[in-house]
Structure 1
Amino acid sequence: MDYVGYVDEVNRFRVSGWVADRDDWKKSLRVDILVEGQVLNVVKAAIFRPKLDELDPDATGSYSFNVHFSNPLSMYQQQEVLVRVTGSNFYLTQDQSEIKAISPDPTVSVLRPVAPVLLTTMGRTGSTAVMASLAQHPNIVVAGTRPFEIELGCYYAYALRTHVANADHEKSLATDRITAGENKYQIGFNPYFRKGHGEVFKNPMVLDHFMTNRLPARLATAFREIILDYYEEVARDQAIDYPIFFAEKTLPERDSRLGIRYMFPKTKEILLIRDLRDVVCSARSSNGSAFDRVMDATKSAARNLQTIDAARNDSVMLLKYEDFVLDNARTVGRLFGYLGLAPIVSDQDGMSTLFATHATSVTPAASIGRWKKDLTAEQRKRCEEFNPFLDQFGYEI
């Protein structure tokens, strides 16, 4: 028996990896999941994974495992998690085995971003290129790499909405189901925030005041600090000494945008738009979706963008994709001016590389007006449904 294997991931909720016997590639092995030396699970490593079938001419590729703990490991205790081939002393190779307990961290740096730059748009509008421009600025923190889709603000905006919602015992948690097995990996609306539990307070308006005022304010403060802590770490990792903003994308959905603005009153928002007919062409080229499906999704997002534009104030800047492509230097300069930041010389070589790997047309300029040749006469006729949007933003009709 000549075992080989690796633990890909280990955390409080699951363990995953793969293992095989080089003396018998046809066999799928069983593994023991040990927590603090005790066998907690025994599972067969028999899930097929691409590339593993290339390890040997006889390899089947069915050597992977993915174990979810029925009861997540405690966050309050440090624990060692190991994986061993059942009936042997062979332990799979792993980079990490210790799961640390949570602990307080009293340190808070003053060198943190103060507010987000929110890039609000739909898909296929050049948002990745705009985010790349923002990421070049020494005072803006952008997490990750292309396509820059870390949306921590959106996540906590929806978490905020969930935590301040009225109880719903039919679609969410009920008081007698909090500890049920299916709820160990999710949390719903607080089951005690309903009139049925109003007897807790003599004055029934007390609970209403708590949910409407005190609770959202407390959560917003906590979530805001968590987001800023995250971007402080990102800034330190990227050697950004003076972060002023962090930048994230978001779709033009009400609760995500307003939730982020509630947590960050100084939010700066960029409303990125593009000729919807070109959006349709790009979306179809990118993912091969049917024309009717792309039309429906585009119309829905467009209505939201129109609504945001109609209520636009000094905290929202309108940015056209076409201006960004055809007059990049001036447009990017205007963008940084809106943010109150010093202009920079953008990395055009990097932008060209980004376009080459992410775009669906030969050149940036060729992506403008492509609908005239890419769409059939019937499809162009259907796109007249976009006329209210096109007219509002000054596009050719």
Structure 2
Amino acid sequence: MDYVGYVDEVTRFCVAGWVADRDDWKRSVSVDVLVGGQGRGVVRADISRAKLDELHPEATGRYAFRVHFPNPLSMYEQQEVSVRVTGSSFYLTQDQPVIDAIAPDPAVSVLRPMAPVLLTTMGRTGSTAVMASLAQHPNIVVAGTRPFEVELGCYYAYALRTHVANADHEKSLATDRITAGENKYHIGFNPYFRKGHAEVFKNPMVLDHFMTNRLPARLASAFREIILDYYEEVARDQAIDYPIFFAEKTLPERDSRLGIRYMFPKAKEILLIRDLRDVVCSARSSNGSAFDRVMEATKGAARQLQIIDSAKHPRVMLLKYEDFVLDNARSIGRLFGFLGLAPTASDQDGMTALFATHATSATPAASIGRWRNDLTAEQRQRCEELNPFLNHFGYEI
């Protein structure tokens, strides 16, 4: 086969271009989209585009493609994107195969003292009990009451991603629709951050540098100050005289965590884990979800938790739910030692009271190993799919 084609656009959200088979102009071919050499999608190049029908007397013009990533590529890591004709070794030509990660700007101050403590976990792992312990410390600000669901850092992490995203005129916002009525309560990716608008500058790379360096640093600075202003008001309202940290829960989703770390380089993170078989039992008791659905959600979150732990980041501490329940005083000591704070007394009475209103087991101790009685033999066998996680974190199988 004799292919010809070009990648016109590569962003963290989509890839677009065209390709044709010069040996058979009447057919449309499929292409593989690869990120870091790994396949991320297959799409048929059969969209009609003007002028492509002028390539050859037999050309149909139906050679274009556009594919959107189900999950946008992270803007905190460099991404190498390529497009290959399916079943071949032919790679389409492209000017910019590498998408740069956004970069911190050393001119933007990050010296304001208060930083976040992230409690990263999935649901039903005892995160509310750990947050309650954090909230008792005189140097930590926690907004709201149990179950402590204020996640301002996560909100602004996603806002940051939206504001520095490449334009998407099809799924997000077009330049001529900014003032349209349907956008009154919705603003999409900036429509001027697109390859065509790079021509505003004599050097087209100026726009790219602005998007990946200056803009994210400015937004991160502004969002950081807004978040800190909010928690300073919460601290004042709670009569906390010396707030050193504020604490929030977060799921192990990459862009929210990395976005918060981009805004707060001094952030510390508590990775809270629990025997996934007990997580499955608790989730089903809490919301009545079907076993298969809970299993799939649990496996997805577990993979992310393993990735975080495997990175061995010096500002991440691993905390097991079982240790927190069975040896609370020691766990509290480790936790506050990790944060560089003086420990507080263990609050067993408070934990017991919390279980009475929020948990799905009668007592903290009864929540450990409950899977042996709560699951059927068939369900326990299905739980063997969780063994990679259980092995990684040293749980008995």
TM-score for the superposition, normalised by structure 1: 0.71
Residue in 2 aligned with 1:151? 151
- CA 1:113 to 1:374, structure 2 compared with 1: closer, same or farther past 3 Å? farther
Give per-residue Cα distances to partners, 1:222-262, cap 9 Å, x unaligned.
Answer: 00000000000000000000000000000000000000000
- CA 1:113 to 1:134, structure 2 compared with 1: closer, same or farther past 3 Å? farther
Residue in 2 aligned with 1:31? none
Structure 1 contact 284–291 (Cα < 8 Å) conserved: yes
1:302-341 alignment to 2 at 5 Å? 302-341=302-341
Aligned-partner Cα distance in 2 for 1:349–1:324:
14
Aligned-partner Cα distance in 1 for 2:371–2:135:
30
Residue in 2 aligned with 1:108? none
- CA 1:352 to 1:113, structure 2 compared with 1: closer, same or farther past 3 Å? farther
1:195 aligns with 2:221: no
Structure 2 contact 160–220 (Cα < 8 Å) conserved: yes
Residue in 1 aligned with 2:14? none
Give per-residue Cα distances to partners, 1:200-236, cap 9 Å, x unaligned.
Answer: 1010000000000000000000000000000000000
Structure 1 residue 114: Cα displacement: 1.4
Give per-residue Cα distances to partners, 1:40-95, cap 9 Å, x unaligned.
Answer: xxxxxxxxxxxxxxxxxxxxxxxxxxxxxxxxxxxxxxxxxxxxxxxxxxxxxxxx
1:206 aligns with 2:209: no
Residue in 1 aligned with 2:240? 240
1:21-36 alignment to 2 at 5 Å? none
- Aligned structure 1 segments of 4 or more residues deviating by more than 3 angstroms: none
Residue in 1 aligned with 2:269? 269
The AA in structure 2 aligned to 1:230 is Y
Aligned-partner Cα distance in 2 for 1:282–1:113:
38
1:69-80 alignment to 2 at 5 Å? none
1:293 aligns with 2:293: yes
Structure 2 contact 119–269 (Cα < 8 Å) conserved: yes
Partner secondary structure for residue 117 of structure 2: strand
The AA in structure 2 aligned to 1:300 is G
Structure 1 contact 113–231 (Cα < 8 Å) conserved: no
Aligned-partner Cα distance in 2 for 1:143–1:233:
10
The count of aligned residue pairs is 287
TM-score for the superposition, normalised by structure 2: 0.71
Partner secondary structure for residue 176 of structure 1: helix
Structure 1 contact 116–245 (Cα < 8 Å) conserved: yes
1:1-397 alignment to 2 at 5 Å? 114-397=114-397
Structure 2 contact 328–346 (Cα < 8 Å) conserved: no
Give per-residue Cα distances to partners, 1:3-52, cap 9 Å, x unaligned.
Answer: xxxxxxxxxxxxxxxxxxxxxxxxxxxxxxxxxxxxxxxxxxxxxxxxxx
Structure 1 contact 361–367 (Cα < 8 Å) conserved: yes
Aligned-partner Cα distance in 1 for 2:388–2:245:
34
Partner secondary structure for residue 176 of structure 2: coil
Structure 1 contact 136–346 (Cα < 8 Å) conserved: no
Structure 1 residue 113: Cα displacement: 5.7
Partner secondary structure for residue 330 of structure 2: helix
Unaligned runs of 5+ in 2: 1-111
Structure 1 contact 143–234 (Cα < 8 Å) conserved: yes
Identity over the aligned pairs, expressed in percent? 90
Structure 1 residue 347: Cα displacement: 3.0
CA-based RMSD: 1.1
The AA in structure 1 aligned to 2:356 is A
Structure 2 contact 355–362 (Cα < 8 Å) conserved: no
Unaligned runs of 5+ in 1: 1-111
Structure 1 contact 113–232 (Cα < 8 Å) conserved: no
